[in-house]
Amino acid sequence: MSKFLEKVNRSLLRIPLNEKIMFTKHMSMMVKSGMSEIESIRLVRRQVESRGFGLVLDDVISGLENGQFLSATLKPYEHVFGKLFISIISLGEVSGTLSENLSFLSEELKESQRLHSKVKSAMIYPIIILVATVGVVGSLVLFVLPRILPIFSTLGAELPLPTRILIGSANFLQEYFVLLILGGILAFIIWLVLLRINVIRYGFHRVLLVLPFAGSISKKYNMANFTRTLGILLKSGVKIVEAVTTSSDITENLVYKRALLEAAENVKRGEAIYDYLEKKPKIFPPTISRMVEVGEKTGNLDENLNYLSEFYKEEVSDNVANLSSVLEPALLLFMGGLVGFVAISIIMPIYQITQAF
């Protein structure tokens, strides 16, 4: 039972990205200064704040004391660090460039953090507006209107259409509010369960790629990750087939995951990568296949991939900023429209009463 619980705890373990950056940066510096791996990790262990990461490093130290390689001690935590992370460390151990590889990982993790931060920060304001809209309208319908609507019902006259719509909506929400909340939660849980089925998840990822705005951002985001990962692996000396396969393993979008596995099989048969990429223009833009072709023919594939990674990273940042700038006024108009509709629905019957007198 204890082994089972240990496996469960490992599978649920999450480590903050900042902790990983600190780990790679400090390890690189200390290994470069001549400290052994085990001494370096013991020193890093004293600075770690995350309890989960501390337990991981305790396990790593124990493995190193038993004569294991650093990459082997991290292997049980592949879901935490990622295949790329462990592969780069393994290559550094074999080639004697562990310090340089750790420094490189630190920079790549920082770049990944910057990209995620840009995407999240661009979406914060629209989400705040949406939540505020739902909160304001919900408060009016659930708390303010119940005190005003009984007055309208005593008038005996036919109420304006907006007021009747508002009264019907308010009554519906008051009567079925709990069921609607539970239904929404249940629908969300069912959706999460369905996404665990590969066929449904693959279909969702394919649909995501053709959606307006979101599809373009998703493609460019996957391109930035794919080119960065492949470029890192090739620069570290990984063979092309293994590099493409590893890129597939760490790709979350199943459409790209399947495509990269097919590309790896084609490379095994002696074909060039760009030959396959050209056959998939809907998911791999012509820019990718052309730059990869030039890189393969000139021997500068890793440099071209790094250039593409930077290019698409900036494209994602710009697109997300543009999407945010479009969503903000649209949501403000939506919020104003809802609040205005509620206000008109209340004012119109009051105006009718004053006119009657």
Give Cα 245 to chain centroid, integer Å: 21
Q: Is residue 56 domain-resident?
A: yes
Mean pLDDT, the chain, integer: 80
Contact indicator for 267, 288 with CB cutoff of 8 Å = no
Q: Are residues 75 and 121 in the same domain?
A: no
Is 12 part of a structural domain of the chain? yes
Q: What is the mean pLDDT of residues 265-290?
A: 87
Answer with the one of 62, 81, 100 that is the final residue of a domain.
81
- The predicted model gives 239-247 an average pLDDT of 85
Please give the single-letter amino acid code of residue 73. Answer: T
The more confidently predicted of residues 15 and 12 is 15
- What separation, in Å, do the N-terminal and C-terminal C-alpha atoms of the chain show? 80
User: Alpha-carbon distance 10 to 309, whole Å?
Assistant: 32
Q: Which of 299, 275, 236 is nearest to 95 (CA)?
A: 236
The predicted model gives 16-30 an average pLDDT of 84
Max avg pLDDT among 64-68, 117-121, 334-338: 64-68
**Does residue 64 belong to any structural domain of this protein?**
yes
Tabulate helix, strand, coil % of the chain (nearest 5): 85, 0, 15
Same domain assignment for residues 75 and 208: no
Count of CB atoms situated within 10 Å of the CB of 28? 22
pLDDT in tens, 161-199: 887 887 787 778 778 878 888 998 999 999 989 888 889
Are 179 and 250 within one domain? Answer: yes
Residue 68 above 50 pLDDT?
yes
pLDDT at residue number 190: 93
Question: How many structural domains comprise the chain?
Answer: 2
Are 59 and 114 found together in one domain?
no
Tokens of 25: 């940066």
Residues in the chain: 357
Percentage, residues of the chain above pLDDT 70: 90
Look at residue 152 in the predicted model and tell me its pLDDT.
Answer: 66
Range of the domain at 45: 2-81
Does the pLDDT at position 133 exceed 80? Answer: no
Residue 8 has pLDDT above 70, yes or no: no
Does some domain include residue 238? yes
CATH label of the domain that carries residue 303 = 1.20.81.30
Cα distance between residue 299 and residue 304, in whole Å: 10
- Compute the distance between CA of residue 58 and CA of residue 292 in angstroms, rounded to an integer: 42
Instruction: State whether 70 and 206 are in the same domain.
Output: no
Claim to verify: residue 257 and residue 215 sit in the same structural domain: yes
Give the pLDDT mean for 60-67.
87
141 is a domain residue = yes
Q: Is 53 in the same domain as 143?
A: no
